[in-house]
Amino acid sequence: MPHVLLERPLHPAGRAILDARPGVTVEVATDVADFAARATKADAILLWLSRVDAAFLDKCPKLKVVARYGVGFDTIDIPECTRRGLPVAVVNGANDLGVAEHAMGLLLGVARQVPAYDRMVKGGEWRSVDGPPIGELAGRTVLVIGYGRIGTRVARLCAAFGMRVMVHDPAFPTPRIAADGHIPAPDWKAALPEADVVTLHCPLHEGTHHLINADAFARMKKGVWLINTARGPVVDEAALVEALRSGKVAAAGLDVLTIEPAVKDNPLFGFDNVILSPHSAAAAQETLAKMAVRAAHNILDALDGRIDPGFLVNPEVLRRNA
Amino acid sequence: MPHVLCLRPIHPDAIALMRAAPGVTVEVLDPVTPESLSARIAEADAITVRITRIDAGLIAQAPKLRIVARHGVGYDAVDVEALTARGIPLTVTPDANAVSVAEHALMLMLTIARQTLGYHARTKAAQWGFPAELPTFDLAGRTVLVIGFGRIGGRVARLCAAFGMTVLVRDPYVPRNTIKGAGFTPADDLDAALAAADIVTLHCPSNSETRGLVNEAFLKAAKPGVVLVNTARGTLVDEPALASALASGHVAAAGLDVFAVEPVEPGNLLLKAPNVVLMPHSAAATAESMRRMAMSCAESILACFDGRLDPHVVVNPEVLRRNA
């Protein structure tokens, strides 16, 4: 009787798939502590924000799959899971469209300074021509860092707006970036001075932690726009605050922060030219439903021993388990 | 010695272009008041107009006037008949603002789809999570009705298609095969299109045929939960009808760059309506667009002085034939 523990209530589209499986029991934790306590009896866990490390895994002898409701896995000790032969499943393909649209929403919002102008109009201040400077996407150069499922979509959308699109991804062959109609930027630091917009779509790992730091800002064009829908720590927030103060960065759109949930004294909240969202890029109703369906299938497929390795962070465990 | 009077400043590159022409003098009137206008209009061979109303009375005070160059594309504040009667061409800047306005329309759609304003305010207050009252949606898979398939509407339709939307197009002046050929679905039956559309975006001029287009009946025919985007003209919309449709939730949200009266009046019901994103007619106010509009005005004025005005930028081209 496999037992599935959900950290939070799952979107009905996914919950229905779990409930329809005979012999599988499902329960929902009330909070993080409750989740950790109940995980000791679970065959499968579905994670939102909970961290999974060796100490957590030591208490979960029955566990056969660690599933995430999302595509990031920086909250999970992957080598430790792999050592124990535990597959770690993510919902690849479920959120890429929504996150790409969110990045474009932030980019256009930054271009038009939408919160500032909306506040002015609602406050009785009509500044159609002498308000904060606004600009077009068409003709601007964007540097897309990370050309995975999300970055490829963002690059296409930017191209549709008539932007000049440069792409950096060390794991993607440059000829294919060129074949997609974009400009490969294998040396991303050399591309920074050309970019009017920098948008981040890479995972967070040791190599990308504080990728956008004081040195990167120093290389950027004055007046650059920064969009981050990837992970907060990809950007050195202290360096970003400095770059906003100096005017090097003219505006930023951030869906992710170094510390989440947001804390009140984050100095980024003091800038009128920074648009913020609460890691909501993948929170559209359609995306939530798609993610829930994928997560449910990942859990059942893993329990059945037939999960598609494309949804695993550590597919090597399948070969070893075989 | 032709004299150009700019009613409010325009981009310095455009003023420099006109001043560089032999014999042309340029004067910038700022602020534009009835008094300052009366004092200087008689000297003008050409005027550039941003938001000043150009009526028959003003035109009568300008005996030397040879051209009115609108910095923008709308000319509902200009008495075209009075200009035509005098043989004076009215030019607009048709190629200057289409990109900028189309991007603004997409910005309004995405701001609504992503609840940018609500989540921005919550995040600044260190509130996390996704409350039920701030649902977000993807544009992909939604149906948009583009009303008006001109320079701006055509671009908006293409951008919506790039986002994976189903695009319906309504324009009685564009052959349906042109719309189909561009890859979109002609909306012959407005009510049927309104019943199908998740988003309605306006890109038609405001005139006697279109004024008040978005009225109570129009809104009633729209799908419950529809989103309205207006970057065209405020007078296309019956504002009290829209405000009550927003209050009832029949219209889920509206992104409005324009109002029936601008600057928007403090008593305008839309200012207090729920789920609205309001902009100060800034769709074409990007740095790039402002420069293109100014340069287009300058080029039209210099071309007019040289007797080689491009009829494609002239609203009343019949005056060119008559002048010839």
Best residue in B120, B128, B259, B277 to probe A by mutation, most A CBs within 10 Å?
A: B120
Beginning with the edge strand found earlier in the chain, give each strand of the sheet holding B90-91 in spatial order.
B25-29, B3-7, B46-49, B67-70, B90-91
For residue A54, the SS3 value is helix
What is the predicted pLDDT for the residue at B322? 66
Q: Where are the beta strands (DSSP E) in chain A?
A: 3-6, 25-28, 44-47, 65-68, 88-89, 141-145, 164-168, 183-184, 197-200, 224-228, 249-254, 274-276
Q: CA angle, corner A166, sides to B119 and B184, nearest 5?
A: 70
User: What whole-number distance in Å separates Cα of residue A198 and Cα of residue A151?
Assistant: 12
**Residue B50 · residue B7 · CB < 8 Å:** yes
Q: How far are the Cα atoms of A78, A82, A89, A309, A312 from residue A319, in angstroms, in the given order?
A: 16, 11, 15, 10, 12
Neighbouring CB atoms inside 10 A of B1's CB total: 7
Nearest Cα of chain B lies from the Cα of A318 at a distance, in angstroms, of: 35
B262 is catalytic: yes
Active site (catalytic) residues of A: 231, 260, 279
For residue B173, the SS3 value is coil
Nearest Cα of chain B lies from the Cα of A190 at a distance, in angstroms, of: 26
Ramachandran quadrant class, A14 (left: phi over 0; alpha: psi -120 to 50; beta: rest) = alpha
What is the predicted pLDDT for the residue at B73? 87
**Residue A40 · residue A320 · CB < 8 Å:** no
User: What whole-number distance in Å separates Cα of residue A292 and Cα of residue B261?
Assistant: 47
User: What whole-number distance in Å separates Cα of residue B145 and Cα of residue A238?
Assistant: 44
**Residue B234 · residue B262 · CB < 8 Å:** yes
What is the predicted pLDDT for the residue at A269? 97
User: What whole-number distance in Å separates Cα of residue A197 and Cα of residue A210?
Assistant: 18
The parts of chain B modelled with pLDDT lower than 50 are none
User: What whole-number distance in Å separates Cα of residue B205 and Cα of residue B150?
Assistant: 10
Query: Chain B contact for A23, CB < 8 A?
Result: no
β-partners of residue A38 are none
* B 244-263: CB under 8 A from A: 262-263
Q: Contacts of residue B257 in chain A, CB cutoff 8 Å?
A: none
β-partners of residue B25 are B3
Q: Contacts of residue B137 in chain A, CB cutoff 8 Å?
A: 284-286
Tokens of A158: 């930017």
What's the length of chain B? 324
What phi and psi, each to the nearest 5 degrees, are found at residue A308? -70, 120
What is the predicted pLDDT for the residue at A129? 76
Ramachandran quadrant class, A280 (left: phi over 0; alpha: psi -120 to 50; beta: rest) = alpha
Nearest Cα of chain A lies from the Cα of B320 at a distance, in angstroms, of: 32
The b-or-e profile of A269-285 (16+ CB within 10 A means b, else e) is bebebbbbbbbbbbbbe
**pTM for the whole thing?**
0.91
Residues 6 or more apart whose Cβ sits within 8 Å of residue A10: A18, A28, A46, A69, A292, A295, A296
What is the predicted pLDDT for the residue at B174? 97
Give me the sign of the Cα torsion angle A193, A276, B143, B148.
Answer: negative
Nearest chain A residue to B262, by CA = A126
What is the predicted pLDDT for the residue at A233? 98
**Residue A103 · residue A230 · CB < 8 Å:** no
Residues 6 or more apart whose Cβ sits within 8 Å of residue B165: B139, B140, B141, B142, B143, B144, B199
> Does A108 contact B106 at a Cβ distance shorter than 8 Å?
yes
Amino acid, single-letter form, for residue B267? G
* A 201-260: CB under 8 A from B: 260
What phi and psi, each to the nearest 5 degrees, are found at residue A153? -70, -40
For the stretch A149-168, pLDDT in tens is: 999 999 999 999 999 999 99
What is the predicted pLDDT for the residue at A319? 81
Amino acid, single-letter form, for residue B190? L
User: What whole-number distance in Å separates Cα of residue A153 and Cα of residue A177?
Assistant: 12
Residues 6 or more apart whose Cβ sits within 8 Å of residue A182: A144, A155, A159, A165, A166, A167
User: What whole-number distance in Å separates Cα of residue B166 and Cα of residue B169?
Assistant: 10
Nearest chain B residue to A139, by CA = B288
Tokens of A58: 């030591």
By Cβ distance, the residue of B113, B117, B263 closest to A115 is: B117
Q: What is the 3-state secondary structure (H, E, C) of B141-165?
A: CCEEEEECCCHHHHHHHHHHHHCCC
What is the predicted pLDDT for the residue at B273? 97
What is the predicted pLDDT for the residue at B116? 98
B233, B239, B292, B299: which one is catalytic? Answer: B233
A131, HSE (Cβ side, Cα atoms, 13 Å): 28
**B7 exposure class (CB count in 10 Å sphere: 0-12, 13-18, 19+):** buried
User: What whole-number distance in Å separates Cα of residue B266 and Cα of residue B35?
Assistant: 26
DSSP string, B126-138: T--S--TTS----
Q: Are strands A44-47 and A65-68 parallel, antiparallel or unpaired?
A: parallel
Residues 6 or more apart whose Cβ sits within 8 Å of residue B244: none
What is the predicted pLDDT for the residue at A49? 86
Q: Contacts of residue B110 in chain A, CB cutoff 8 Å?
A: 101, 104-105, 108-109
Ramachandran quadrant class, A23 (left: phi over 0; alpha: psi -120 to 50; beta: rest) = left
Q: What is the pLDDT along chain A (322 residues), one digit of tens a residue?
A: 899 999 999 999 999 999 999 999 999 999 999 999 999 999 999 999 899 999 999 999 999 999 999 988 999 999 999 999 999 999 999 999 999 999 999 999 999 999 999 999 999 999 987 899 999 999 999 999 999 999 999 999 999 999 999 999 999 999 999 999 999 999 999 999 999 999 999 999 999 999 999 999 999 999 999 999 999 999 999 999 999 999 999 999 999 999 999 999 999 999 999 999 999 999 999 999 999 999 999 999 999 999 999 999 999 999 866 5
First to last CA, chain B: 21
DSSP string, B224-292: TTEEEEE-S-GGGB-HHHHHHHHHHTSEEEEEES--SSSSPPTT-GGGG-SSEEE--S-TT-SHHHHHH
What is the predicted pLDDT for the residue at A128? 81
Give me the sign of the Cα torsion angle B153, B155, B160, B164.
Answer: positive
Domains identified in chain B and CATH numbers: 3-96+287-323 (3.40.50.720), 98-278 (3.40.50.720)
**Residue A253 · residue A197 · CB < 8 Å:** no
Domains identified in chain A and CATH numbers: 3-94+285-321 (3.40.50.720), 96-276 (3.40.50.720)
> Does A128 contact B281 at a Cβ distance shorter than 8 Å?
yes
**Residue B20 · residue B300 · CB < 8 Å:** no
Best residue in A49, A121, A271, A275 to probe B by mutation, most B CBs within 10 Å?
A: A121
For the stretch A208-258, pLDDT in tens is: 999 999 999 999 999 999 999 999 999 999 999 999 999 999 999 999 999
What is the predicted pLDDT for the residue at B95? 86
Beginning with the edge strand found earlier in the chain, give each strand of the sheet holding A224-228 in spatial order.
A183-184, A164-168, A141-145, A197-200, A224-228, A249-254, A274-276
> Does B136 contact A115 at a Cβ distance shorter than 8 Å?
no
What is the predicted pLDDT for the residue at B321? 77
What is the predicted pLDDT for the residue at A322? 55
